[in-house]
Amino acid sequence: MPELPEVETVRRHLQVSLPTRRIAEVELMREDLRYPIPVDAVHALVGATFTAVRRRAKYLLCDLTVAGQPDRVMLVHLGMSGRLFIDPHAPTEWRKHEHWRMRLTPDLWLRYVDPRRFGALDVLEKSEEVTHPLLGTLGPEPLDAAFTAQHLMAVCKGRQQALKIVLMDQKHVVGIGNIYASESLWRARVHPLRPAQTLKLREAKALVAASRAVLQEAIVAGGSTLKDFVGGDEAPGYFQQRLDVYGRGDAPCHACGGLVEHVVLGGRATYFCGVCQV
């Protein structure tokens, strides 16, 4: 599933290509993905001009101006396997699992492919972002100043849940998905299965710093391509070449040489070193 670095990689590519482009045509192959698509509102974007592409958690927010109307935001979520990319060539046919596309002026196509159909497409007014059901309950961004050791200690207080589950809860902090949670906990030398309430302040400081470092490095590397992720230019990411524990079950730990362990936690694969992480 695309996590924060992958979505940020897509955002950065789209931010180069989309602003000042006008939507000339919208084509939809279906009326729903994970949620119903507001078909009329999407088609009403014809004539609108992109002004910026932002990211909130794992959501892409494309700002648009529409003459004589309130500014619009096109919300896109990539789901488990979605791809949103720029195509400089006029498509002759629909790609397999392609669900919508937009012709932009001058000639350029914005296309969305999603084999599992777990993604989302919505249109809202900019003023509605804070109350939107997909955005309104999100926690702070892990790369923002609001994500501090004190914040992490507060959300862990009194919680018996495993620390990794709390770290991945989007209400507490957004965008730290399964891959990067395992990597961050390893760097901070904190065991993922520990009850969250046992976290100490010095460990929280280490975990916040590790999370930021892992995410920033992954963004620079263009994200991680473990299955089918590609960026906005359809190029793969390369951070998977630097993973210390994720996907390395029974391989030597890069720090101590012991074997990396693998368990399923909350339905998600979790990797850690039982020697380094306490």
268 belongs to the catalytic site: yes
Tokens describing residue 207: 């975990």
Q: Which of 2, 5, 142, 192 is catalytic?
A: 2
Rounded to an integer, what distance in angstroms lies between the CA atom of residue 3 and that of residue 46?
30
DSSP letter, residue 88: S
Rounded to an integer, what distance in angstroms lies between the CA atom of residue 100 and that of residue 109?
10
217 belongs to the catalytic site: no
Rounded to an integer, what distance in angstroms lies between the CA atom of residue 37 and that of residue 45?
13
Query: Phi, psi at residue 216, to the nearest 5°?
Result: -65, -40
117 belongs to the catalytic site: no
Tokens describing residue 121: 């497409």
Q: Which of 55, 58, 72, 103 is catalytic?
A: 58
Does residue 8 contact residue 242 with C-beta atoms inside 8 Å? no
Tokens describing residue 92: 């002759």
Rounded to an integer, what distance in angstroms lies between the CA atom of residue 38 and that of residue 130?
19
Candidates 210, 138, 221, 223; CA nearest to 181 is 210
What are the distances in angstroms from CA 179 to CA 81, 114, 247?
15, 21, 9
187 belongs to the catalytic site: no
Rounded to an integer, what distance in angstroms lies between the CA atom of residue 63 and that of residue 51?
6
Q: Which residues carry out catalysis?
A: 2-3, 58, 268
